[in-house]
Structure 1
Amino acid sequence: MVDIEVVYADVDRQVLLAVAMPVGTSLRAAVLASGIAEHFPQLALADCPLGIFGKVVADADVRAVQPGDRIEIYRPLLADPKEIRRLRAAKAAMLKRKNT
């Protein structure tokens, strides 16, 4: 068995589950078997991007868990960062024109 952690942070709370998985279990299978869905039933665990210690894993269905892995479940972005920066810059420019 391999000892790992599965983590998900929502807007309101964070849950960290310490679980033991059989050697050779994929990251995705470990997340599905961890029981995290009981805490966050709205999650589409089959589609969520996964990472290990802050680095996205390209193929979570293939990569096997390693001892001590901290598997992180990532949420989709609520807004496009480029669009947010563009809107912020436009607002700053408007305020600058208004104050001059």
Structure 2
Amino acid sequence: MADSTATMLEVEVAFALPERQRIMPLSVPAGTTARQAVAMARLEVAFPEYSPVIFREADLGIFGKRLRDPDAVRLRDGDRVEVYRPLQIDPKAARIERAADERR
């Protein structure tokens, strides 16, 4: 019987800016969490303009579905972990600002 801890999964970690994106293919051990995969992808090297803290604390999702607890979600073969950028402006505040501009 094969040791299940030696099983490797093929996953991707994705991060995008408006002008560029990076999708990092990774082979990770079975049992790797979404947060661990982001650390393994070393996105701070590809995006030095962002603090490594951004990647350690960012909201994460898998195929567009936000994860409630990325430190607990174990990846499956073929998953794409998405690292979400922090919002520049609160969406509610943006709507209020647009409405105020339209009234002027």
State if a TM-score over 0.5 links the two structures. Answer: yes
| Alignment-mate amino acid for residue 12 of structure 1 | E
| Mapped partners of 1:77, 1:37: distance in 2 | 18
Match of 1:58 in 2: 68
Match of 1:11 in 2: 18
Residues 21-70 of structure 1 show CA distances to partners (whole Å, capped at 9, x for unaligned) of: 00001111111012322102324222111100111101111111111101
- Identity over aligned residues, as a percent? 39
5+ residue gaps, structure 1, are 95-100
**Deviation beyond 4 Å, 4+ runs, structure 1:** none
| Alignment-mate amino acid for residue 92 of structure 1 | E
TM-score by length of 2: 0.84
Residues 2-29 of structure 1 show CA distances to partners (whole Å, capped at 9, x for unaligned) of: 0001000023210011111000011111
TM-score by length of 1: 0.87
Shift of 1:85: 1.1
Question: How much is the aligned-residue C-alpha RMSD, in angstroms?
Answer: 1.2
